[in-house]
């Protein structure tokens, strides 16, 4: 059986979302460093530390929020794929006699599609979690550098 085009696109979309989230966070860190790096702040580093801690907390919060939204989107898409597979299998089953080879094959295909949708959704959600954890570790590391 050929790979399902929709599932392939779903996996690609999940990877793009995770990559985009990671890149946007990296850009935010770079921008934050450029904005707050002025010579006047060197005389009073406490203001810089407070600002960096707040930004780090905001980045971590945003990463958690975006990861939650992304995982919700992935699960919704997987559910829609499963519903479509069931609906198509039922239509084939109704169009043919009950117990016909074509009807049984449609049911097996629907079950396979549902299984693969769940597997792909789980892999994509795991990638989102890994990206979120990497962002949080990076933010913690940066906060630790500024606090020492």
Q: Which residues of the chain register pLDDT less than 70? A: 1-3, 33-56, 97-98, 146-148
Domain boundaries defined on the chain:
67-140
Q: Name residues whose C-beta falls within 8 Å of residue 35's C-beta, 6 or more positions apart in sequence.
A: none
pTM: 0.51
pLDDT one-digit tens code per residue, 125-141: 888 888 888 888 887 88
For 16, 61, 82, 97, 140, the CA distances from 73, given in Å and listed in that order, are 13, 18, 14, 37, 27
């Amino acid at each position: 059986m050929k790979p399902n085009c929709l599932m392939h696109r779903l996996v690609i979309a999940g990877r793009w979302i995770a990559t985009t989230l990671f890149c946007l966070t990296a850009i935010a860190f770079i921008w934050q460093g450029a904005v707050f790096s002025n010579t006047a702040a060197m005389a009073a580093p406490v203001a810089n530390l407070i600002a960096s801690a707040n930004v780090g907390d905001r980045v971590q919060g945003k990463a958690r929020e975006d990861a939650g939204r992304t995982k919700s989107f992935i699960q919704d898409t997987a559910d829609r794929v499963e519903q479509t597979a069931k609906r198509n299998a039922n239509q084939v089953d109704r169009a043919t006699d009950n117990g016909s080879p074509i009807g049984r094959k449609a049911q097996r295909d629907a079950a396979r599609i549902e299984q693969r949708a769940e597997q792909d959704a789980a892999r994509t959600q795991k990638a989102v979690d890994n990206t979120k954890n990497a962002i949080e570790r990076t933010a913690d590391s940066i906060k630790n550098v500024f606090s020492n």
